[in-house]
Structure 1
């Protein structure tokens, strides 16, 4: 059902925001980041990491303590209703350039400003805007900090960020400090202290900060979500999600990414670099932050062999990549526990041969769904240990997929559905389907899986970013069709 099964495309961008970001990472490339730096933890954690050991229990516990709230919660806060949503876009590489087309396809949306230090990419995107009949957008191409000037504009309601990961936190922060709602591609930040800062800033500035997790809007994911909420799987017990995607060729391609920024992260971290695509949908199934919450994560990683073997076979000696030492586990497997005792399995592997898969599984007391390939087994519909045909459950499709049965754009149409719904919420003044608390939760496995692997699988506490408000049931992606 998913287009990416046939032609998988990474859900990230290649653009010019790489040079200063790479310079930032020079000090940690090949050595790995310390636990304290990743978790925003204590000096005990830093000392333990320098000594080559695991962080102390006290340091681990420090990451679970919620700092004082900086403002009123953003849970349930609607957007301001507006006739036209004015959008500024930062990052116009593979991902950002494709998203320009989708924003231009939306009713009541104007692309006001574009930013990328690679002038050719900005000019190409600007031509798309003009060709669509909109006024020529302002362009920001004067170096890697010019995004700050875009964020300062008074005629932008929403900032979209599709740049290398190193920049996501800084750009989201700048957008909110300048009064803009912001949506960021995965992952939204790389450290726990950064995640907390985004939560605090969202509350203080009263601006929404969202992880634009397109997989939450996949047809299968939304169908399973509705079925789960209707009790078709019984009482939920376990789920699984992943990002398994052979990216070796693209990571060594000198033209696909703007520099080696994505590959360099394999010299810095050992854990799950990209948990959001698998974690987001399963978190929705289980109403995480809406009646349940994730509490701990234990992670384990294989040796790092795949990229080095690929380099040996494909890259000429003397290529800059030969100076790199890869530490990222080829396959990371994490187990996440929830407050209600459920278990979520997360996997990450972009360094070995494997067909594309997000696993996307959900099980309960009445049955189970598994994806890649899609199949279902629930009582009383199925018997005799034979998988059922998931296509027969099309009546359970979300209203967005019934209304847009053949959406344009990449990733099987989920990108279009995501942008349509977000812009709809902004135009009608609705509460967004997910918020900064979801963004922080879905991204937290990045630093915490690394910390757990370095501590031989020791469980790491996952902070309650809602500060106790997770127990209250509330709506999310399983939304009702609005009037108007």
Structure 2
């Protein structure tokens, strides 16, 4: 994630455990790697599809619904939203400031095994004039006690990826709505379990995808819905961000958990930032759906080269073998025949880019740098000025919050403000568990496709057929109350 108007700042939504917990997390996931992560580990036992026809058939074979759909289900209206935060590292430690900046939001409880981080976050709460929060610092599973509290409405999870699934489950099983940083889980069976659990508990489980609330992304979304691009044909999104130095920095991530995922998966480890906005442009799960994905990966050379040039011979990283493709490129097909290109590259030197492109029968937008060409506004094969569309098409959230606080150009604040607003007013959230599962599904499926030399992999229809009905999403109307 990135503030387009500043030097790229990695977010990586995922930080935050104590040294002890980091070591245990590493041992836990390293044990899986040592045992050999076969196809079933990342598909939940689903066999790969060797052709688009087989992929489509596999998508239709969705498990039976465990409860009524969560599509269109509003939050219960509440004047005050009581929040519990799990994970207080780089991401959680900064996002707490945004929760505290929103009227009608109270931070009730905090959890992180690093007591110093929990204490620092608790001080922010009292400095903001709120009562001292309860704190949970007793090891790996103390978050379960936070989730059991009766005075929490919403649990926010900002921990290493390994824990996202278990923490989301715990929150819902204890009657809490939950928002999780990217990715929401790492295996297909886990994604299905979160969908089923959301339906059964009647609690929302959302992927906190801040890039869907970027100023450019929301402007493009409204232009697409207004027909400015004509009939939509293709889009692209990416997470291309040079993280080599941070992944080898012992002080940035607590333990090597982020780097170790490059020893386990070959596919797109972080698709959500690029996929979510483009899926919104194309109304995925709201009139269209993604059906299958084909992925290709380059050799994995970048991290090993960086290690050779920068790390001492005795560093533990020398025991690691990297298999994660330096750059993955995936092509995603939709039911309406549209194509989405996804890219992931955090292992080679290059400027930050989420690509963020959309094309249709009347023209195209491309980001990084932002430029647009649509008929009849532009002629002579010359890019136009995207800023000229701001007055007409900027989302009401950006007009109401012209200079939002927080990182990544303000989209973090816009996301949290809007989520808390939907809870306070009793509205349907802008995206739901079906979107979370869809946006994260390229993690396991791109890995399988690369192993199968690009063979298409079925993307499940997590809505179980309800994608055919148009419905609102991030392109929301300003509430009246």
Query: TM class, shorter-chain normalised?
Result: over 0.9
Contact 2:111 2:118 survives alignment (8 Å): yes
Equivalent residues in 2 for 1:233-244 (5 A)? 233-244=229-240
Task: Return the alpha-carbon distance in structure 1 between the equivalents of residues 25 and 288 of structure 2.
Answer: 36
Q: Does 1:285 align with 2:281?
A: yes
Partner of 1:480: 477
Q: Does 1:142 align with 2:138?
A: yes
Partner of 1:196: 192
Partner of 2:114: 118
Equivalent residues in 2 for 1:390-429 (5 A)? 390-395=386-391, 396-429=393-426
Task: Return the alpha-carbon distance in structure 1 between the equivalents of residues 210 and 440 of structure 2.
Answer: 14
Partner of 1:10: 11
Partner of 2:45: 41
Q: Does 1:331 align with 2:324?
A: no
Task: Return the alpha-carbon distance in structure 2 between the equivalents of residues 268 and 129 of structure 1.
Answer: 38
1:3: Cα distance to partner? 3.9
Task: Return the alpha-carbon distance in structure 1 between the equivalents of residues 456 and 288 of structure 2.
Answer: 19
Contact 2:82 2:152 survives alignment (8 Å): yes
Matched residues, number: 475
Task: Return the alpha-carbon distance in structure 1 between the equivalents of residues 54 and 146 of structure 2.
Answer: 42
Partner of 1:447: 444
1:24: Cα distance to partner? 1.6
Change (3 A) 1:31 1:270: farther
Task: Return the alpha-carbon distance in structure 2 between the equivalents of residues 416 and 58 of structure 1.
Answer: 42
Q: Which moved more, 1:128-137 or 1:6-15?
A: 6-15
1:60: Cα distance to partner? 10
The DSSP-based 3-state class of the residue aligned with 1:346 is: strand
Contact 1:113 1:139 survives alignment (8 Å): yes
1:26: Cα distance to partner? 1.6
Over the aligned positions, Cα root-mean-square deviation in angstroms equals: 1.8
Q: Does 1:79 align with 2:80?
A: no
1:23: Cα distance to partner? 1.5
Equivalent residues in 2 for 1:335-346 (5 A)? 335-346=331-342
The DSSP-based 3-state class of the residue aligned with 2:91 is: helix
Contact 2:157 2:164 survives alignment (8 Å): yes
Give TM-score scaled by structure 1 length. Answer: 0.95
1:175-194 superposed Cα distances (whole Å, 9 cap, x missing partner): 00000000000000000000
Partner of 1:227: 223
Contact 1:302 1:331 survives alignment (8 Å): yes
Partner of 2:376: 380
Task: Return the alpha-carbon distance in structure 2 between the equivalents of residues 433 and 338 of structure 1.
Answer: 21
The DSSP-based 3-state class of the residue aligned with 1:423 is: helix
Task: Return the alpha-carbon distance in structure 2 between the equivalents of residues 411 and 93 of structure 1.
Answer: 17
Q: Which moved more, 1:27-36 or 1:112-121?
A: 27-36
Change (3 A) 1:463 1:59: closer
Task: Return the alpha-carbon distance in structure 2 between the equivalents of residues 62 and 139 of structure 1.
Answer: 45
Task: Return the alpha-carbon distance in structure 2 between the equivalents of residues 72 and 30 of structure 1.
Answer: 40
Contact 1:30 1:267 survives alignment (8 Å): no
Contact 2:55 2:458 survives alignment (8 Å): no
Q: Does 1:355 align with 2:351?
A: yes
The DSSP-based 3-state class of the residue aligned with 1:438 is: helix
Contact 1:64 1:462 survives alignment (8 Å): no
1:22: Cα distance to partner? 1.2
Gaps of 5+ in 1: 49-53
1:221-240 superposed Cα distances (whole Å, 9 cap, x missing partner): 00000000000000000000
The DSSP-based 3-state class of the residue aligned with 1:322 is: helix
Partner of 2:457: 460
1:385-418 superposed Cα distances (whole Å, 9 cap, x missing partner): 0000111111210000000001010000000000
Task: Return the alpha-carbon distance in structure 1 between the equivalents of residues 167 and 431 of structure 2.
Answer: 19
1:28: Cα distance to partner? 3.8
Partner of 1:51: none
